[in-house]
Amino acid sequence: MYQDPKRVRSRYGAINLDEYERRLIDALVDYTGIDKAVLLRQLVMKEALETLGIADLELNVPRRA
């Protein structure tokens, strides 16, 4: 079904947010129309790439966040 089985996503972890953080994420979801899980994944991947100093490389990560 998938060309690369390693690209199949599965639950990896969970985050704990306070009320203000949840409201911020919900506002971003409402503003962008992106699914919450997709938005959070994009934000995490963007931060990880920037932290590693490879944010400019094309690694098949959507750049919406």
**Predicted model pTM:** 0.75
Kindly report, residue by residue over 42-61, the tens digit of the pLDDT. Answer: 999 999 999 999 877 766 55
What's residue 45's pLDDT?
Answer: 93
What's residue 29's pLDDT?
Answer: 98
Angle formed at CA 10 by CA 4 and CA 11, multiple of 5 degrees: 160
Kindly report, residue by residue over 6-41, the tens digit of the pLDDT. Answer: 989 899 999 999 999 999 999 999 999 999 999 999
Cβ–Cβ under 8 Å, residues 45 and 61: yes
What's residue 55's pLDDT?
Answer: 79
